[in-house]
Amino acid sequence: MKYVLKLYVIEDTSNGMRAIRNLKKITEMIPQEDVTQIEVIDILKNPELAIEDCIVATPTLIKAYPFPPRRVIGDLSNTENGNCSTRV
């Protein structure tokens, strides 16, 4: 299964840096042939992308593909039982 992931953060914050590290750990568990695209988007540098995806909190991870899209809000540190944080 192919995945398209977008992580919206403010890179210069501890939560943003933690979310980036945790996303790297999570994606290491996914076979590389299944990860087609991972984007880390700093909303201070690209606010138009955050508006386009209706981002209201950071960090937010969007699984854009496969459908349906899913959102996870938080630093992705709670991975017990497959839960990365607060699901929306």
Q: Where are the alpha helices (DSSP H) in 1-88?
A: 14-28, 47-52
Give the pLDDT of the chain (88 residues) as one tens digit per residue.
788 999 999 999 999 999 999 999 988 888 878 877 999 999 999 999 999 999 999 999 999 999 999 999 999 998 765 554 444 3
* Number of domains within the chain: 1
Residue 83 lies in a domain: no
| Structural domain boundaries, residue 8 | 3-76
We report the CATH number of the domain holding residue 23 as: 3.40.30.10
Residue 47 lies in a domain: yes
Residue 88 lies in a domain: no
Taking residue 51's Cβ as centre, other Cβ atoms within 10 Å add up to 10
